[in-house]
């Protein structure tokens, strides 16, 4: 059995893989009953087996794929005389259901036939032995394109979530600059008040609070590098005034940037000492 876990090094809230793998199962080998926390797709290359969910029992053969929804109790096992060989990919992100819906999956239809090269696309992801983030994500997106038959994904009635996601991406892309809520609203062609309202409804904080928090979180990481001065860390997240930066930093973390840095150095020293 092959299993590879994938750690996403940057925020990728849309959709991203968590783990993927491949297994030639022994006769009657099963998994469950169990409840998954994330979306999980299996593709059967040979053999057969069965999937049991709260909507029924499904016989599955080569050339088919099945979806396990999160928070749903399922059980699946290989056939006794012709056990299956499958690959799987587990994924997470706020748009997972958007993609699985586009593919044609529903709780009542958890099994689909491959008619668009899904198995081949998943095979490329499984077989790739490169840990490069960009390459892995490109292969994962190729799999999603095959899964959805190349159809354009739209947010349908989730336009507010889409606007908020694009606002977050804009903030991350411009984290080193001075950003205002008006800048984001102008970029999205939205009214500033409307953007603030939907952003706070979805995230629980205003866009301005999100901007400040994101900048300070990044600055705190930068301060762990002794070669970066406090002034440089402030400028690196768009604060030209070190005093303003220090005031906001203390408000968020309870200590000044210099005190934060001393604490980090101390904790790192303790870890190095205790691990010797």
Q: Is residue 74 part of a domain?
A: yes
**28 and 68, same structural domain?**
yes
Burial label, 251 (beta-carbon count in 10 A; 0-12, 13-18, 19+): exposed
Identify the domain boundary among 94, 114, 147: 147
Question: What is the predicted pLDDT for the residue at 154?
Answer: 53
Average confidence (pLDDT) over 250-266: 85
Does any domain span residue 140?
A: yes
Predicted confidence at residue 124, as pLDDT, reads 93
Domain boundary among the residues 117, 147, 177 is at 147
In a domain, 153, yes or no: no
- 226 sits in the region (left: phi over 0; alpha: psi -120 to 50; else beta) called alpha
In whole angstroms, how far apart are CA 48 and each of 3, 30, 42, 143? 21, 12, 12, 22
First to last CA, the chain: 36
**pLDDT of 10:** 39
Q: Is the pLDDT of residue 201 over 60?
A: yes
Same domain, 48 and 140: yes
Are 122 and 43 within 8 A, CB to CB? yes
pLDDT of residue 158: 58
Inside any domain, residue 15: yes
E strand or H helix that includes residue 35: strand 30-35
pLDDT at 228: 87
pLDDT bin (cut points 50, 70, 90) of residue 227 is confident
Distance CA(40)–CA(66), nearest Å, equals 8
90 membership: H or E segment, kind and range:
strand 85-92
Return the number of other C-beta atoms located less than 10 Å from residue 254's C-beta: 9
Same domain, 199 and 126: no
Is 275 among the domain residues? no
Higher pLDDT residue, 201 or 3? 201
Q: Is the pLDDT of residue 8 over 50?
A: no
Per-residue pLDDT of 49-76, as tens digits, reads: 999 999 999 999 999 999 999 989 999 9
Q: Encode pLDDT of 126-147 as tens digits.
A: 988 766 778 888 899 899 999 9
Q: What is the pLDDT of residue 94?
A: 78
- Tell me what the pLDDT averaged over the chain comes to: 86
pLDDT digits (tens, 9 = 90+) for 13-25: 578 888 899 999 9
- Among 4-8, 97-101, 244-248, 264-268, name the most confident range: 244-248
CA distance 148 to 113: 12
Examine the domain organization and report whether 95 and 198 are in the same domain.
no
Beta strands 73-78; 64-68: pairing state: unpaired
Q: Are residues 52 and 139 in the same domain?
A: yes
More reliable by pLDDT, 9 or 258: 258
CATH classification at residue 199: 1.10.10.60
Co-location of 47 and 131 in the same domain: yes
Q: Which residues contact 210 (CB under 8 A, 6 or more apart)?
A: 168, 171, 199, 203
Residues 175 and 210 in one domain: yes
- Claim to verify: residue 23 and residue 120 sit in the same structural domain: yes
pLDDT greater at residue 151 or residue 215: 215
More confident residue, 36 or 130: 36
Residues 107 and 185 in one domain: no
Q: Are both 35 and 140 inside the same structural domain?
A: yes
Q: Write the pLDDT tens digit of every residue in 152-180.
A: 555 454 578 888 888 888 898 888 889 99
Domain range holding 183?
159-270
**pLDDT for residue 93 is more than 90:** no
pLDDT of residue 7: 46
Task: Give the chain's domain count.
Answer: 2
Instruction: Mark which of 104, 124, 147 sits at the end of a domain.
Output: 147
| Angstrom distance (rounded) from CA 172 to CA 150 | 28
pLDDT at 268: 52
Angle CA 1–134–220, to nearest 5: 105
Percent of the chain with pLDDT over 70: 87
Tell which residue, 109, 93, 115, has the closest CA to residue 17.
Answer: 93
pLDDT of res. 270 = 42
- Residues 135 and 209 placed together within one structural domain of the fold: no
Q: In this structure, is residue 154 part of a structural domain?
A: no
């Amino acid at each position: 059995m092959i299993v590879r876990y994938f750690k996403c090094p940057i925020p990728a809230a849309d959709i991203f893989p968590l783990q993927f793998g491949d297994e030639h199962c022994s006769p009657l080998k099963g998994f469950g009953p169990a409840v998954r926390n994330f979306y999980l797709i299996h593709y059967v290359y040979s053999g057969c087996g069965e999937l049991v969910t709260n909507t029924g029992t499904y016989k599955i053969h080569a050339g088919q794929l099945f979806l396990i929804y999160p928070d749903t109790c399922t059980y699946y096992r290989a056939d006794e005389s012709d056990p299956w060989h499958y690959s799987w990919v587990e994924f997470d992100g706020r748009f997972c259901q958007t993609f699985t819906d586009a593919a044609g999956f529903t709780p009542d239809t958890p099994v689909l036939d491959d008619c668009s090269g899904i198995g081949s696309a998943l095979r490329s992801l499984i077989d790739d032995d490169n840990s490069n983030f960009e390459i892995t994500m490109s292969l994962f997106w190729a799999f999603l394109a095959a899964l959805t038959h190349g159809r354009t994904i739209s947010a349908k009635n989730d336009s507010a979530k889409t606007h908020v996601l694009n606002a977050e991406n804009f903030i991350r892309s411009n984290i080193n600059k001075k950003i205002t809520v008006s800048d984001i609203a102008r970029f999205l062609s939205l009214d500033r008040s409307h953007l603030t309202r939907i952003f706070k409804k979805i995230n629980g904080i205003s866009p301005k609070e999100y901007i400040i928090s994101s900048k300070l979180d990044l600055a705190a990481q930068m301060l762990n590098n002794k070669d970066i001065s406090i002034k440089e860390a402030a400028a690196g997240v768009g604060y030209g005034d070190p005093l303003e930066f220090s005031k906001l930093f203390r408000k968020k973390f309870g200590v000044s940037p210099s005190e934060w840095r001393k604490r980090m150095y101390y904790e790192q020293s303790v870890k190095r000492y205790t691990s010797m």
